[in-house]
Amino acid sequence: MKQVDIRERLVQLALQNPNYEIADRKVTIAERNLKKAKGSWLSAFSAAGNLNELSIKELNSSSNPNNPNNLNGGLFFPRYNFSLTLPFDFFSARSNDVKVARENMYIAEAEKNERYRTIRRDVLTRYEDFLMHKEKFDLHTRITQGEYTEYKLAEKDFADGTITAEAFKKVEVGYYNQLIAKAEAQRNFNVAKYELELLIGVNIDDVLPRK
């Protein structure tokens, strides 16, 4: 797997971050509100059914003793009623509602895009920090191994009396200083790793290609 592919993989993992998920859901809500605003004109229509439909059927029956004149109940009690109510500001209010909903959708999409750019920047920065501190730690590890070899040789030479105490002390101090530098490098590497894993939500070792 190429290194550039690893970076894109890390970004995709970070996009599962709850902060980005919230931005994505805001876009969905804005889109639904826009659809709702566009369909608001349907609220102007209303329909009603006659609750006395049974009595209407009885009136419509010519054999009904309560209907000696054979009256048509439908003339007095219509089964269904339809109406259309349009406030004076209906069209302007609907137009403004659609415009507001559309602007809210644009804002939500802009926030989502901004969140994406921020997450991408943070992930790639953390990954570069991870690579840098890993390289420093590897270098300090190799340097420490060399210092340790020199320290053990100086220790033997001092025991054999071939070098002075001052010379041995100098080598010893150099070795201990390198141990401190290695510990700091390891700490910085671990922190960089933790910060990267916090963004991507998984262990970085599970993402990096196997050597």
Q: Is the CB of residue 134 less than 8 Å from the CB of residue 187?
A: no
Residue-wise pLDDT tens digits, 132-158: 999 999 999 999 999 999 999 999 999
Q: Measured between alpha carbons, how far is 103 from 146 in angstroms, rounded to an integer?
A: 65
Give domain limits for the chain: 3-206
3 state DSSP class of 4: helix
User: What pLDDT, on a 0 to 100 scale, did the predictor assign at position 56?
Assistant: 47
Nearest to 72 by CA among 87, 62, 82: 62
Nearest to 189 by CA among 119, 122, 144, 136: 136
Residue 127 above 60 pLDDT?
yes
Considering the domain 3-206 in this protein, what is its CATH number? 1.20.1600.10
Q: Measured between alpha carbons, how far is 207 from 127 in angstroms, rounded to an integer?
A: 12
3 state DSSP class of 79: coil
User: What pLDDT, on a 0 to 100 scale, did the predictor assign at position 208?
Assistant: 86
User: What pLDDT, on a 0 to 100 scale, did the predictor assign at position 110?
Assistant: 78
Name the percent of the chain in helix, strand, coil, to the closest 5: 75, 5, 20
High-pLDDT (> 90) share of the chain, %: 41
Q: Tally DSSP H helices, then E strands, for the chain.
A: 5, 2
Residue-wise pLDDT tens digits, 172-200: 999 999 999 999 999 999 999 999 999 99
Torsions phi, psi for 52 (to 5 deg): -105, 40
User: What pLDDT, on a 0 to 100 scale, did the predictor assign at position 76?
Assistant: 47
User: Length of the chain in residues, anyone?
Assistant: 211
